[in-house]
Chain A
Amino acid sequence: MTVEVTGAAAVGERASDPDLLYSEAEEDLRAAVRSLLAARAEPAAILGRIETGDPYDPALWRALATDMGTAGLLVPEKLGGQGASAREAAVVLEELGRAAVPAPYLTSAVLVVETLLGCEPEASEEPEAPEVARLLASFASGRTVGALALPLPTGPGSALACEVRVAADGTLEGGARRVADAAGAHTLLIPARGPEGVELYAVDTSAAGVTVSPLVSLDLTRPLADVAFAGVRGRRLAGPGVAEAAVRRALLAGAGLLASEQLGVAEWCLSETVRHMGERKQFNRPVGSFQALKHRLARLWLDIVSARATARYAADALASGSADAPVAVAVAQSACSKAAVRAAEECVQLHGGIGMTWEHPAHLYLKRAKADEIALGTPSHHREILAELVNLPSPTAG
Chain B
Amino acid sequence: MTGIDAAELRRRVTELLAAHDPATTDRTAFLQARFDAGLAWVHFPAGLGGLDAPRALQAVVDAELEAAGAPDNDPRRIGIGLGMAAPTILRYGTEEQKRRFLRPLWLGEEVWCQLFSEPGAGSDLAALATRAVRDSRGDWVVDGQKVWTSSAHLARWAILIARTDPDVPKHRGITYFVCDMTAPGVEVRPLRQITGEAEFNEVFLTGVRIPDNHRLGEVGDGWRVAQTTLMNERVAIGGGRVPREGGLIGLVAETWRERPELRRHALHQRLLELWAEAEAARLAGERLRQQLVAGHPGPEGSAMKLAFARLNQEISGLEVELLAEDGLLYDDWTMRRPEHVDFAGREAGYRYLRAKGNSIEGGTSEVLLNIVAERVLGLPSEPRTDKDIPWKELAR
- Rounded to whole angstroms, the CA-CA distance of A395 and B260 in the bound complex is 7
Chain B positions within 8 Å of A308 at CB level? 284, 287
B250-288 CB mask vs A (1 if < 8 Å, else 0) is 110110110010011100110111011101110111110
| B294 contacts chain A at the CB level, 8 A cutoff | yes
- Cβ of A299 and Cβ of B369 under 8 Å apart? yes
Contact of A305 among B236, B300, B312, B380 (CB under 8 A): B300
Assess whether A2 is in contact with B246, with CB atoms less than 8 Å apart.
Answer: yes
The listed residue (A3, A305, A334) touching B284 by CB distance below 8 A is A305
In-complex Cβ contact of A11 among B244, B300, B378 (8 A) = B244
Nearest residue (CB) in A for B271 is A392
Complex CA distance for A299 and B277, rounded to whole angstroms: 14
Interface presence of B13 (CB below 8 A): no
- Given A5-B251, A387-B272, residue A21 in contact with residue B280 (CB < 8 A): no
Are the C-beta atoms of A386 and B272 separated by less than 8 Å? Answer: yes
Interface size on A, residues (CB 8 A): 59
Does B253 lie within 8 Å of A5, measured CB to CB? Answer: no
User: Is there contact, CB below 8 Å, between A289 and B379?
Assistant: yes
Q: Which of B359-376 contact A (CB under 8 A)?
A: 366, 369-370, 372-374, 376
Contact B377 A289 (CB under 8 A): no
A380 sits at the interface (CB 8 A): yes
- For B343, give the chain A residue with the smallest CB separation: A3
Is B14 among interface residues, defined by CB-CB distance under 8 A? no
**B276 with A334: CB separation less than 8 A:** yes
By beta carbon, the residue of chain A nearest B296 is: A21
- Beta-carbon contact of B236 and A1 below 8 Å: yes
Q: In the complex, A285 Cα to B380 Cα: how many Å?
A: 9
Compute how far the CA of A375 lies from the CA of B284 in the bound complex, rounded to whole angstroms.
25
- Kindly report which residue of chain B lies nearest to residue A8, judged by CB atoms: B250
Distance in angstroms between the alpha carbons of A395 and B254 in the assembled complex: 15
Instruction: Please name all residues of chain A whose beta carbon is closer than 8 Å to the beta carbon of B254 when the two chains form the complex.
Output: 8
Residue in chain B with minimal CB distance to A395:
B263
Is A360 close to B, CB under 8 A?
A: no
- A391 and B312 CA atoms in complex are apart in Å by 21
B286 touches A309 (CB 8 A): yes
Task: Pick from A294, A312, A330, A396: contact of B369, CB below 8 A.
Answer: A294
Closest to B233 in A: A1
Q: Which residue of B lies closest to A305 (CB)?
A: B303
Within 8 Å by CB of B283, from A20, A297, A393, lies A20
Scoring A301, A313, A330 by chain B CB atoms within 10 A of each residue's CB, the highest score goes to: A301
Chain B residues with CB under 8 A of A2: 236, 238, 242, 246-247, 285, 304, 308
CA distance A297 to B379 in the complex (A): 9
**Which residues of chain A are within 8 angstroms of B264 by Cβ–Cβ distance?**
395
Contacting residue for B268 out of A4, A297, A301, A392, CB 8 A: A392
- Counting CB contacts under 8 A, is A19 at the interface? yes
Q: Does A274 contact B (CB under 8 A)?
A: yes
Query: In the complex, what residue of chain B is closest to A277 when comparing beta carbons?
Result: B379
The answer, among B272, B286, B304, B381, for a CB contact under 8 Å with A20, is B286
B287/A391 in contact, CB under 8 A: no
Q: Interface code B321-343, partner A: CB below 8 Å = 1, 0 otherwise?
A: 00000000000000000000001
The listed residue with most A CB atoms (<10 A of its CB), out of B269, B280, B381, is B280
Q: Does A218 contact B (CB under 8 A)?
A: no
Point out the residue from A5, A288, A309, A330 that lies within 8 Å of B380, measured CB to CB: A288
Chain B nearest Cβ from A203, distance in angstroms = 38
CA distance A334 to B366 in the complex (A): 26
Q: Does A383 contact B (CB under 8 A)?
A: yes
Q: Is there an interface contact between A334 and B273, defined as CB atoms closer than 8 Å?
A: yes
In the complex, A291→B241 CA distance in Å? 35
Known: A335-B277, A386-B276, A392-B268. A309 touches B283 (CB 8 A): yes
Contact across chains for A5 and B263 when beta carbons are under 8 A apart = no
Cβ-based interface call for A295 (8 A):
yes
Chain A 162-184 interface 0/1 with B at a Cβ cutoff of 8 Å (1 = within): 00000000000000000000000
Q: Quick one: given A2-B285, A291-B382, are A21 and B294 in contact (CB under 8 Å)?
A: yes
Contact B374 A294, beta carbon cutoff 8 Å: yes
Is A341 at the interface (CB under 8 A from chain B)?
no
Closest A residue, CB atoms, query B383: A285
Cross-chain contact B287 with A309 (CB below 8 angstroms): yes
* Assembly CA distance A20 to B251 (angstroms): 26
**CB contact between B256 and one of A8, A18, A392 (< 8 Å): that residue:** A392
CA distance A13 to B246 in the complex (A): 12
Q: Which residues of B contact A393 (CB under 8 A)?
A: 257, 260, 263
B87 to chain A, nearest CB (A): 17
B61 beta carbon closer than 8 Å to chain A: no
The reply to whether the CB of B19 lies closer than 8 angstroms to some CB of chain A is no
Looking at the assembled complex, report how far the CB atom of B287 sits from the nearest CB atom of chain A, in whole angstroms: 4
A285 CA / B383 CA spacing, docked (Å): 9
Q: How far is the CB of B372 from chain A (nearest CB, A)?
A: 4
Beyond the given pairs A291-B370, A295-B369, A306-B277, 16 more chain A to chain B contacts, judged by CB atoms under 8 angstroms and listed by A's residue number, are A1-B238, A1-B304, A1-B308, A4-B247, A5-B343, A19-B290, A20-B283, A20-B287, A274-B379, A297-B377, A298-B373, A302-B372, A309-B287, A392-B256, A394-B268, A395-B265
The 6 closest A-B pairs by CB, nearest first: A294-B373, A1-B236, A309-B283, A8-B250, A395-B263, A306-B280
Task: List 17 A-B residue pairs with CB atoms under 8 Å apart, sorted by A's residue number.
Answer: A5-B251, A11-B245, A11-B253, A19-B290, A274-B377, A288-B379, A289-B382, A297-B379, A298-B370, A306-B303, A308-B284, A330-B276, A331-B283, A334-B273, A383-B273, A393-B257, A393-B263
